[in-house]
Structure 1
Amino acid sequence: MNTAEKESAIKAYFNMWVQRDFSALETIFAPDIFYSECYGPEYCGLHEIHQWIDTMLQKQTVLEWAIKQFLHENNLVVVEWFFKEQQNNIVHGFDGVSIVEFHTDGKIHSIKEFESKAEHITPYH
């Protein structure tokens, strides 16, 4: 799988959240996927991923998941992004990074997310 195909798969996954359509998830994620969210929860396998998605669709609307850049290293892709969501009429956004692992089957086998506040300051300027 080349870098453009990996980037396309990641973009498609992020877009699923914005479009609220996960019908093609199995074409991107391996059945035994491991997913670690940036605030602690972890999911193992597509069954748990679907349970998590169903729960989140009930309470969250993803307004934006914008990719800033990709970094490639063999089967790993690091993607820097900005995420914006609404829950209970409150809009919240944050910056983040995901480490995405692809296997030779062309599917994502692991995602590990990390979060950073979107509001940055420069205290010594």
Structure 2
Amino acid sequence: MWNKKLVERYFQAWIEKDADVLKTVFSDDIIYSECYGPEYHGIEQVLKWFADWNKAGTVLEWSIKRFVSEGNTIVVEWYFKCDYNNLIDGFDGVSMIDFDVNRKIKGLKEFQSKADHYFPYEK
């Protein structure tokens, strides 16, 4: 249960633009891999990315659809919507999150999926 609350706090930090939360949820040696390629090593890089991203963007929604948990890993299915450089966009995604012995996030990998789905075999 604590790991779900930690993830919820992290997602909410983006909506509130609250960088202080990052220091409480991530380990100092966090490895964070975004869904489109960038990877950040260590809390200082994550904090810089957070500050830089929030200069041009605002997270409008980051809603959790479900959690799947096994051991020290939790998988989160979510929907993300933002306004970045005056362009509003959204997508579905999944994060694989690993926790350390101190109950902090030590590894996070994001995967993206288009939010607009179509049904090619339905009439």
Q: Which deviations, in whole Å up to 9, do the C-alpha atoms of 1:3-54 show, x marking residues without a partner? A: x100000000000000111212211100000000000000000010011011
Match of 2:72 among 70, 75, 78: 75
Q: Percent identity?
A: 46
- Does 1:60 find its partner at 2:57? yes
- State the secondary structure of the residue aligned to 2:18: coil
Give 1:89 deviation, angstroms.
Answer: 1.8
Distance 1:17 1:27 in 2: 14
Give 1:78 deviation, angstroms.
Answer: 0.2
Q: Which deviations, in whole Å up to 9, do the C-alpha atoms of 1:69-116 show, x marking residues without a partner? A: 000010000000000000122110000000000111110000000000
Match of 1:97 among 88, 94, 101: 94
Contact 2:22–2:47 (Cα < 8 Å) also in 1: no
Which ranges of structure 2 fall in alignment gaps of 5 or more residues? none
Distance 1:19 1:26 in 2: 15
| TM-score normalised over the length of structure 2 | 0.97
What is the aligned length?
A: 122
Distance 2:84 2:76 in 1: 24
| TM-score normalised over the length of structure 1 | 0.95
Match of 1:29 among 26, 29, 32: 26
- Does 1:86 find its partner at 2:71? no
Distance 1:58 1:106 in 2: 30
Distance 1:115 1:91 in 2: 16
- State the secondary structure of the residue aligned to 2:4: helix
Q: Tell me the equivalent position of 1:124.
A: 121
Distance 1:54 1:28 in 2: 16
